[in-house]
Structure 1
């Protein structure tokens, strides 16, 4: 049998094996361990604060061991970052959590899987995770509380602080239409939900000015680390748009995950001209009286922005073949699939820099 025929048959068999392997792995080459597994190599990590200012108060304490008068720093924003060894011109991603939560939203999922902060880092993006001003490690100012407690201010000047109970939060986060019903095929790992409830903290946002102090802090951060894509969630969804409206220095794009609000279609659209913008929603939105109207308003914004020369896009995950996502898509069982899709969008729409 001719040697050339034998060689062709071997090559044909190898080619067929490669095609079958590609079909089984979604087209990804499987030559050795995936860069998304195993040891992680980074060039830098750390934390810092941006923004903030000092205020003097005479109502800092009601405890005898601590003086009531003094100066405190307020409105600062905590930032934790990691930079991969090979950035290759990719923009930094700033992950901005939503209502009643902290930067923990993006860290290890309640059921122990890699969170977006680590997963996107492994995909080659510098990742910056923040705690909103007056939330988590970004401390607030308790002077107004002590002023009322000591009789130096009237009762109606107590700050408006709220916490989301498990039962009403169930529908807000779209685990189901109401507690304890579950949407069919919903992807949130309810077996680990107790760990999610532990992530929730008191929320001061209703008592803070507009824009929230987080917004100018994000602007400062973008100028410092940019180009950056501001990736916001829920309550924080409007913040990147407010940053861009004040100035786009350092802002390479916006990804708003189920924003609590989009800019009104009657607002000035000039700040968004030519800026890559993705508004992303999960599943069951049309079944939620809270989120369906917000989706409709965001559609109006995207249409208005594009009519003014924008590069905005609104996507529902079911429309791209990703199903069952709750409001907490970064923690759902298919969170890596969502992150992959989002990273693909960023790669396609946000130019790399040199």
Structure 2
């Protein structure tokens, strides 16, 4: 490792930016200092592993003659890929994707720009990217599907798996009110929409027990890391809160980006009282029949938690003068500006553990 490269890493890891709590005018004036990060990405280590999982024995693993129908497989394991920068001083972040997607959400954007997985590393955070249980590199269980096909299980017991069509996803991700209309000023790179659609996968969440095994795995991961900021999105937005309800150990902070649901404002707030929390929203939310009620419910949760003495920032980007963000704001054309501000929020609210 050369001194020059170590100096680059040190410079990247120590830069600081205004937090979300600054007035909109101040935020507009303060352009993100590190949006144009370039140069070698220097790592102390990188790798991957699984968390959780259990063995099941089945006699319907295959309907193909070339493969044995009976045997044992591992299910409900969560895949984790990590990158750790040299001499990391900032707390680890764990990136949790949403519906119909995988950890690819946080990687290179559809139009080829730097993703948040690399960006947080360049800003000095050890970065962990997961694939939810039964998604991506976290294997699903085919036994029930094959059992139905073989006539051993009634057809009405077929597991409820689904895939989001491109036309429906257009409105869900708020590129426009309906396909192929585009919101005025929308910042998602629609010219690269075909690359985005390639990221979408079959979703098995309706076959999962409650809470989703991903939640238990996130709890185990948080304990292993001894302090991580759980950054979730959409379908997984509730997972960090469910993880905290299981055990707050290792949860250094929560950033829930456009969550499908927040904890109930009238529910038990004790698990969240000592965790710094941000709930973050993009644009066009109030005009969406799907998302407006979710925004309202999360705002009520934030108000209840604040009243109870908790620490939460409920952030709607247009209120700060940041307009045009879709549901996929980690892939929008200002994605690194938003990531900068998350880094600043973490710097202000989350204390890194001393090595």
Please give the secondary structure, in 2, of the residue aligned with 1:168. helix
Q: Which residue of 2 is the match for residue 331 of structure 1?
A: 331
Q: Does 1:84 align with 2:85?
A: yes
Write out aligned runs for 1:86-235 (5 A): 86-88=87-89, 90-235=90-235
Residues in 2 aligned to 1:118 and 1:199: alpha-carbon distance in whole angstroms: 18
Please give the secondary structure, in 2, of the residue aligned with 1:73. strand
Please give the secondary structure, in 1, of the residue aligned with 2:286. helix
Deviation at 1:287, TM superposition (A): 1.0
Q: Does 1:238 align with 2:210?
A: no
Please give the secondary structure, in 2, of the residue aligned with 1:144. helix
Q: Is the 8 A contact 2:56 2:75 kept in 1?
A: yes
Q: Which residue of 2 is the match for residue 20 of structure 1?
A: none
Identify if the C-alpha distance between structure 1 residues 29 and 195 changes in structure 2 by more than 3 Å, giving closer, same or farther.
Answer: closer
Q: Is the 8 A contact 1:120 1:127 kept in 2?
A: yes
Q: Is the 8 A contact 2:32 2:340 kept in 1?
A: no
Q: Which residue of 2 is the match for residue 6 of structure 1?
A: none
Deviation at 1:308, TM superposition (A): 2.2
Deviation at 1:27, TM superposition (A): 7.5
User: What 5-or-longer segments of structure 2 have no aligned partner?
Assistant: 1-28
Q: Which residue of 1 is the match for residue 273 of structure 2?
A: 273
Q: Compute the TM-score of the two structures, normalised by the length of structure 2.
A: 0.90
User: What 5-or-longer segments of structure 1 have no aligned partner?
Assistant: 1-24
Deviation at 1:35, TM superposition (A): 8.7
Deviation at 1:156, TM superposition (A): 1.2
Deviation at 1:225, TM superposition (A): 1.1
Write out aligned runs for 1:24-103 (5 A): 26=30, 36-88=37-89, 90-103=90-103
Residues in 1 aligned to 2:158 and 2:308: alpha-carbon distance in whole angstroms: 43
Please give the secondary structure, in 1, of the residue aligned with 2:231. strand
Identify the structure with bigger relative contact order (alpha carbons < 8 Å, sequence gap 6+).
Answer: 2
Q: Which residue of 1 is the match for residue 319 of structure 2?
A: 319
Deviation at 1:154, TM superposition (A): 0.8
Could you say what the CA RMSD is over the residues aligned between the two structures, in angstroms? 1.6
Residues in 2 aligned to 1:348 and 1:29: alpha-carbon distance in whole angstroms: 17
Residues in 1 aligned to 2:54 and 2:352: alpha-carbon distance in whole angstroms: 35
1:33-86 deviations in Å (ceiling 9; x for gaps) = x99210111101000000110011111111111111111000000000000013
Q: Kindly report structure 1 stretches of 4+ aligned residues shifted beyond 4 Å.
A: 25-30
Q: Which residue of 1 is the match for residue 285 of structure 2?
A: 285
Residues in 1 aligned to 2:159 and 2:348: alpha-carbon distance in whole angstroms: 44
1:263-315 deviations in Å (ceiling 9; x for gaps) = 11121100011210000000111111100000000011111222222111200
Residues in 1 aligned to 2:281 and 2:70: alpha-carbon distance in whole angstroms: 47
